[in-house]
Chains A and B, each alone.
Chain A
Amino acid sequence: MLNRTDHMAYLPDMEILKDSIIMEDVITRMNAYEYHRYSADDVRIALHKDNCTPQDFAALLSPAALPFLEEIARKASAETRKHFGNSIYLFTPLYLANYCENSCVYCGFSRRQKIRRARLNTEEMEKEMQAIAQVGLEEILLLTGESRKMSDLQYIGEACTIARRYFKMVGLEVYPMNTQGYAYLRTCGADYVTVFQETYNSTTYETLHPDGRKRVFPYRMNAQERALRGGMRGVGFGALLGLGDFRKDAFAAGIHAWLLQRRYPQAEISFSCPRLRPIGNDGKTDSPILQEAELLQVIMAYRLFMPFAGITISTRERACFRDNVTGIAATKISAGVSTGIGGHQECQEDIGDGQFEIADSRSVDEVYSAMKERGLQPVMNDYVYV
Chain B
Amino acid sequence: MITLNGRSVDDADGLSLAELLARENYVISIIAVACNEEVVPRAKYNCRRLADGDVIDIVRMVAGG
A–B proximity contact (CB within 8 A): no
Q: B residues within 8 Å of A by Cβ?
A: none
Q: A residues within 8 Å of B by Cβ?
A: none
